[in-house]
């Protein structure tokens, strides 16, 4: 894992190659990975599906009813976008993958409208 300066530089290089996503989403995905590992109870490789589940829970905890607005600001409209972001980070050396990991793991993970629309968000106890 790169230090913060290395992380920031790597994200800038990613954005030069793939400007679809706001730089903030890359730090969020890294934090969501830590959240997911903590939820699992161990630091280990997580699958795309496990990460998607963790991302969904983490963004709701962090942003609540604003989750979908934040995602839209970051340029994220579907779980496939998270796959692109994760694999951008893999290519930049910020994350690693196994032979079994595929960008397809992020396809059709869940429907953003169903999960993140205000009327569907359950109140989160803090």
How many structural domains is the chain composed of? 1
Structural domain contains residue 99: yes
Q: Which of 63, 68, 48 is nearest to 115 (CA)?
A: 68
* 51 falls within a domain: yes
| Residue range 77-93, pLDDT digits in tens | 999 999 999 999 999 99
Residue 54 within any structural domain of the chain: yes
* Structure confidence at residue 113 (pLDDT): 82
66 domain residue, yes or no: yes
**Structure token digits, residue 45:** 């490789």
Which of 39, 58, 36 is CA-nearest to residue 48?
36
Q: Which residue has tokens 């690693």?
A: 96
Task: Give domain status of residue 125, yes or no.
Answer: no
| pLDDT tens sequence across 24-73 | 999 999 999 999 999 999 889 999 999 999 999 999 999 998 999 999 99
Residue range(s) defining the domain that contains residue 86:
4-120
**HEC readout, 76-99:** CCCHHHHHHHHHHHHHCCCCCCCC
**What phi and psi, each to the nearest 5 degrees, are found at residue 37?**
-65, -40
Is 85 within a domain?
A: yes
Beta-carbon contacts of 114 under 8 Å, excluding residues fewer than 6 positions away, are: 120
Domain-located, residue 58: yes
Whole-prediction pTM value?
0.89
Q: Would you call 109 exposed, middle or buried from its count of C-beta atoms within 10 A (0-12, 13-18, 19+)?
A: buried
């Amino acid at each position: 894992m790169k230090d913060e300066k290395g992380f920031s530089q790597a994200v800038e290089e990613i954005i030069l190659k793939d400007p679809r996503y706001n730089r903030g989403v890359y730090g969020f995905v890294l934090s969501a990975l830590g959240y997911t590992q903590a939820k699992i109870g161990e630091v280990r490789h997580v699958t795309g599906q496990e990460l998607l589940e963790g991302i969904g829970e983490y963004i709701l905890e962090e942003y609540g009813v604003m989750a979908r607005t934040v995602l839209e600001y970051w340029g994220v409209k579907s779980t496939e976008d998270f796959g692109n972001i994760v694999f951008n980070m893999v290519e930049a050396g910020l994350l690693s993958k196994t032979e079994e990991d595929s960008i397809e793991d992020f396809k059709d993970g869940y429907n953003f409208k169903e999960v993140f629309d205000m009327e569907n968000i359950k109140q989160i106890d803090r």
